[in-house]
Amino acid sequence: MQPLHLTGLSQAELSDFVASLGEPDYRARQIFSQIHARRLRSFDEMTDLPKELRAKLSEQTTISTLALESRYISTDGTRRYLFKTRDNKPVETVFIPEENRDTICFSSQSGCPLQCTFCLTAQLGLLRNLTAGEIVEQIIFALNDAYGVGVQPPRGTNLVGMGAGEPFLNFEELMKAIRIMKEPNGLHIVPNRTTVSTAGIVPRIRELATIPDRPHLAISLAAPNDELRNELMPINKKWPIDELMAACKMFEKSLKRGERFTFEYVMLDGVNDSAEHARQLANLINRYRLHAKVNLIPHNPAEPLPYQPSPMVRVEAFQSILESKGVHAFIRRPRGRDILAACGQLAARSSPRLSEQL
């Protein structure tokens, strides 16, 4: 039998488990905070707990299931971690240092079942969904590596569910992980600091809108019309653009003051980056009167993907057309390309700049 993975339990579930051991309830709060606030990686370090309890815990449970296989550090400071789960499935996490706040990009699945033609993760296929505990562990590990065990990030942390996998095809575990991470007695990363990105799983966009303390939403669009989107993102055949936009319209009602949602648009040289595509995109957003912003992402190339990034002048021209039609558009600077850590490059590959084992 697999040992119980404590990192994926809510405080309430941990209370039940602690009660089943015949221990007082305050132990549950203690254990929760040692895992999530102090970010300890073994029971031996939990010296506030009696020895017998620690022995019992290490017999029946575990707090770390992800084994680091390699760590790569980019010339721009971005770090990519490649882990293996207990059943040997790859998981990747990216730590992105930024001027204001650092960002951790986590994965929600090992591999991905979607077949987006511009994304390297698609080549893996779906290996399996990650558990809430495996999602939370990625963040604990990245924080410990970047700042030291238990050290508070000086400027807080943003989380993005933009690593491998389609978060909305693993909705329950994703939302559970987000609830665990918001606990003040734990990591205390509030959903307001978290953005999840979807390729357009329409029913889950609608569901997210009904959740009071929810993360922000980003939608990967990549094309302004069904013909091209069907080709680039086959999920579009199931939920075409009109259905996606209707769901966005509904989601928009749940936006808080000052909150916007984002369309991500990967810029593929000669494929989706013409002036006509820009006009179509602006018209689409304006037709539905969506208060969304657009992030233009220069394509991150990798063998054997058949695309090249659009030249910067074309990305800028695309942005100008959107802006001239009243759509706010931003150009995203690629991070960690040299270590295969940028958007769409996660495929459990080795890369240059392997750093020493921890």
Q: Which residues bind ligand SAH (CB under 6 A)?
A: 118-119, 162, 166, 197-199, 220, 222, 264, 266, 297, 299-300, 343-344
157 or 220: CB nearest ligand SAH: 220
Min dist CB 314 to ligand SAH, Å, is: 15
CB 97 within 8 A of CB 78: yes
117 or 254: CB nearest ligand SAH: 117
Min dist CB 158 to ligand SAH, Å, is: 15
111 or 344: CB nearest ligand SAH: 344
Phi and psi of 73, rounded to 5°?
A: -125, 120
343 among known catalytic residues: yes
Tokens for 149, please give them.
Answer: 């065990």
136 or 343: CB nearest ligand SAH: 343
264 among known catalytic residues: no
Closest C-alpha among 187, 241, 178 to residue 208: 178
Q: What is the spatial distance between Cα 248 and Cα 250, in angstroms, rounded to a whole number?
A: 5
Alpha helical stretches, state H, 288-326: 312-324
Mutual orientation of helices 275-287 and 312-324 as an angle, nearest 10°?
30
Q: Which residue is nearest to ligand SAH (CB)?
A: 344
Min dist CB 69 to ligand SAH, Å, is: 21
| Residue 238: partners with Cβ closer than 8 Å, 6 or more residues away | none
The number of C-alpha atoms within 13 Å of 105 and in the hemisphere containing its C-beta is 24
Min dist CB 72 to ligand SAH, Å, is: 17
Residue with tokens 């102090």: 38
Min dist CB 130 to ligand SAH, Å, is: 13
The residue annotated as part of the active site, out of 92, 173, 252, 264, is 92
Angle at 37 between CA 35 and CA 42, to 5 degrees: 30
Residue with tokens 């030249």: 311
Q: Is 47 helix (H, G, I), strand (E, B) or coil?
A: coil
212 burial type by CB count under 10 A (0-12 exposed, 13-18 middle, 19+ buried): exposed
The residue annotated as part of the active site, out of 173, 252, 343, 356, is 343
28 or 130: CB nearest ligand SAH: 130
- The catalytic residues are 92, 343
